[in-house]
Amino acid sequence: MGRAADVLVVGGGPAGRALAGACARLGLRTGLVDRAPDRPWRSTFAAWADELPATVPASAIASRSRGRAIARTERPLGWEYTVLDVDGLRAHLDAGLAGVTLHRGRVLGTHRGPDGATTRLADGRTLEAAVVLEASGHRPRDRSAEQTAHGTVVDAHAAAPLVAPGEALFMDWRPHHGEDGWPTFLYAVPLGDGTVLLEETSLARRPGLPLPVLRRRLAARLDHHGIAVPADAREERVRFPVDGPRSATGFGAAAPLVHPATGFSVATALTLAPAVAAALARSLPGPPERARRAARDVVWSPSARAVHLLRRRGLEALLRMPPATVPAFFEVFLGLPPRHRWAYLTARDDLGAMLAAMSALFARSDWSQRARLVAPALLPRSGPPWSGTGGSAAGTRATTR
Ligand SMILES: Cc1cc2nc3c(=O)[nH]c(=O)nc-3n(C[C@H](O)[C@H](O)[C@H](O)COP(=O)(O)OP(=O)(O)OC[C@H]3O[C@@H](n4cnc5c(N)ncnc54)[C@H](O)[C@@H]3O)c2cc1C
């Protein structure tokens, strides 16, 4: 055929770089196309420490801390929380791109046929490959459920009333922001450089809770704890969908590998990249369709599809919960034995563990909560959220960063 590449990866975020590097290491002729390949990564990427593959070097880790969470009462998570050093992670992934052909350009679309795929770029070029996988990030759509957050970075000693050295606060649902309405929590993680990110977070809402509401609540919460924020403090804004459509050729957030209960996808993408590359290497050269299916089956095994469906049901249940009951729900969740919480938060391909976690959650819930947990299996997607503070999302649209 004389194709230029076995594999073309669209999108050079953490997922695309990890996948392209893994393919090249297995001897596949690999291309990577990104509309802005040199753009630095600005988001704070975090993950559960034990979820990260062992290949992630120390230079890509900014901090490790004991995780704790507060719903109605305070509890240790029982495992460590890692904030990634984005520059270190990028350098690590870039070192793995030797042998990958980098293309700069905006992809308009890909046509797939029995002999391979042709990807069209906005500048008129086309790129040919046996298999094209999209790692082009979140794919917002109409009426996406979105995670939104507004954060600020302060010195660790200033954040001490909320997070002690060596600790990360995964969730603090106490209503110290002083508002009724859509429930939000504080997320507070040490960044490893003597500073702490304090972020008021709406786990999911359709559409996302407007950022000005989160900004206002964060200011009130920090004021409640006597934490002063310097005028020039760095800020972080978060908005991305947590219910993107499932894609047979997507990877990373585009798959979507995003866990709807945390918004995390980076650790999963880093873990899955070598397995997807291995499936491609086993199938190529060979019919492109077979190789494409082999890659898809790694990401979306029957068990992974079932877990994905259950996670989505869990998301819909959360979106329907009357706001005042959400902290009580998390009190039950955080009180589960660690193995069940761990399975719910990480086991994307273990249906048995997921079902056991959901059964345990159901068993410990009261009857009204149980009814809310089963409702999404019977009802259509949730409508607009409850009214009240933060109930109106006028003027916001789903835009990824
Ligand atoms: C502020 C913030 C904080 C976050 N924190 C976390 C966290 O702690 N942990 C976590 O796991 N996730 C976190 N996320 C979610 C995060 O977005 C994703 O998990 C992560 O960026 C997904 O990586 P990715 O490689 O799949 O996609 P992206 O990082 O979005 O990369 C997509 C790439 O594709 C390129 N691209 C897109 N469209 C095209 C096109 N048409 N043509 C060419 N190139 C294209 C883009 O330029 C980009 O480089 C956070 C998100 C935000 C916004």
User: Does residue 165 sit within a domain?
Assistant: no
Long-range contacts formed by 313-317: CB under 8 A, 24+ apart: 313/376, 313/377, 314/260, 314/261, 314/344, 314/358, 314/373, 314/376, 315/145, 315/204, 315/242, 315/243, 315/260, 315/261, 316/376, 316/381, 316/382, 317/372, 317/373, 317/375, 317/376
* pLDDT band, very low/low/confident/very high, at 381 (cuts 50, 70, 90): low
pLDDT (tens digit, 9 = 90+) per residue, 275-291?
A: 999 999 999 999 999 99
Lining residues, ligand 1, CB within 6 Å: 10-16, 33-36, 43-47, 106-107, 135-137, 236, 238, 240, 252-254, 263-266, 269, 401
If one compares 161 and 389, the residue with the highest pLDDT of the two is 161
Instruction: Return d(Cα 137, Cα 124) in angstroms, integer.
Output: 22
In this structure, what token pair is assigned to residue 399? 């835009």
Q: State residue 142's pLDDT score.
A: 84
Coil/strand/helix, residue 240:
strand
User: Does residue 384 sit within a domain?
Assistant: no
User: Does residue 216 sit within a domain?
Assistant: no
Query: With 60 as the cut, is the pLDDT of residue 52 above it?
Result: yes
pLDDT (tens digit, 9 = 90+) per residue, 287-322?
A: 999 999 999 999 999 999 999 999 999 999 999 999
87: CA distance to ligand 1 center in Å? Answer: 15
Instruction: Please tell me whether the overall predicted TM-score, pTM, comes out greater than 0.75 for this model.
Output: yes
Torsion of CA 53, 55, 61, 65, to 10 degrees: 40
- Regarding whether 10 and 121 lie in a shared domain, the answer is yes
Q: How many CB atoms lie within 10 A of CB 256?
A: 23
Q: State residue 64's pLDDT score.
A: 97
Please give the distance of CA 325 from its chain centroid, rounded to a whole number. Answer: 24
Ligand 1 atom closest to residue 41's alpha carbon, by position in its atom list: 29
Across the range 147-172, mean pLDDT stands at: 96
pLDDT (tens digit, 9 = 90+) per residue, 206-254?
A: 999 999 999 999 999 999 999 999 999 999 999 999 999 999 999 999 9
Q: State residue 382's pLDDT score.
A: 59
Ligand 1 atom closest to residue 106's alpha carbon, by position in its atom list: 42
Please give the distance of CA 384 from its chain centroid, rounded to a whole number. Answer: 23
- Residues 331/34, Cβ–Cβ less than 8 Å: no
Structural domain for 309, as ranges: 303-378
- Regarding whether 323 and 292 lie in a shared domain, the answer is no
User: Does residue 119 sit within a domain?
Assistant: yes
Q: State residue 390's pLDDT score.
A: 37
Query: With 90 as the cut, is the pLDDT of residue 376 above it?
Result: no
The secondary structure element, H or E, covering residue 270 is helix 266-283
Q: How many domains does the chain have?
A: 2
Last residue within a domain, chosen from 300, 316, 334: 300
- Regarding whether 358 and 344 lie in a shared domain, the answer is yes
Q: State residue 183's pLDDT score.
A: 95
Across the range 83-99, mean pLDDT stands at: 97
Q: State residue 379's pLDDT score.
A: 60
Q: State residue 83's pLDDT score.
A: 97
pLDDT (tens digit, 9 = 90+) per residue, 18-43?
A: 999 999 999 999 999 999 999 999 99
- Regarding whether 132 and 37 lie in a shared domain, the answer is yes
- List, as one string, the DSSP characters of 146-189: EEEEEEEEEETTTTTTT--TTEEEEEE---TT---SS--EEEEE
Instruction: Return d(Cα 193, Cα 199) in angstroms, integer.
Output: 17
